[in-house]
Amino acid sequence: MTANSDLIPLRLCVLTVSDSRTLEQDDSGAYLAAALADAGHLLHQRALLPDDRYRMRALVAQWIADPQVDGILVTGGTGFTGRDSTPEALLPLLDKEMPGFGELFRAVSFEEIGTSSLQSRAFAGLANATFLFALPGSTSACRTAWEKIIRQQLDARTRPCNLATLRPRLRE
């Protein structure tokens, strides 16, 4: 799956969307921050916001506009409850959607949680040459997404293709 080439460390931001957790109680965001560091990437910034689409959109737009940020991992707010608004907040910011991510995430999740996976509105895309992945709020869902999909795609050594080596061409 990987070839002998160099890792390209990416600068990534992690946003947790939650009305009930604090940064100290944020196991999902902590998992993602640790996982990306373990993979050789750099945590550029980490934040926690309530499920408020305008605050969420403002912070993510700020990160997208920052040329130092290569990607953003968002956890939470992708379910079906009344307050879940991550897709409504962030999909308008995308220049291009990556429909395969949500489809693959739900397929992989089906193996773990069965038909409950259909309630996930996880998605990914590209905005201003910055990758954005929106994941469910549970730590197990973040682990599944990172270990089975995102880690490989953000690793320049993954073949036949990956997002890390694609990134410089996105700015052209």
Digit-coded pLDDT (tens) for 28-53: 999 999 999 999 999 999 999 999 99
Distance in angstroms (rounded) separating the CA atoms of residues 111 and 101: 16
pLDDT of residue 101: 96
pTM of the model: 0.93
> In terms of DSSP bridges, do strands 71-75 and 130-135 run parallel, antiparallel, or are they unpaired?
parallel
Tokens (6 digits) for 16: 């947790």
The predicted-structure confidence for 92-129, as pLDDT tens digits, reads as follows 999 999 999 999 999 999 898 888 888 899 999 999 99
CATH topology of domain 11-170: Molybdenum Cofactor Biosythetic Enzyme; Chain A (3.40.980)
Domain ranges of the chain: 11-170
Identify whether the C-beta of residue 168 lies closer than 8 Å to the C-beta of residue 131: no
User: Nearest-CA neighbor of 76 among 67, 64, 89, 85?
Assistant: 85
Residue 26: partners with Cβ closer than 8 Å, 6 or more residues away: 16, 18, 48
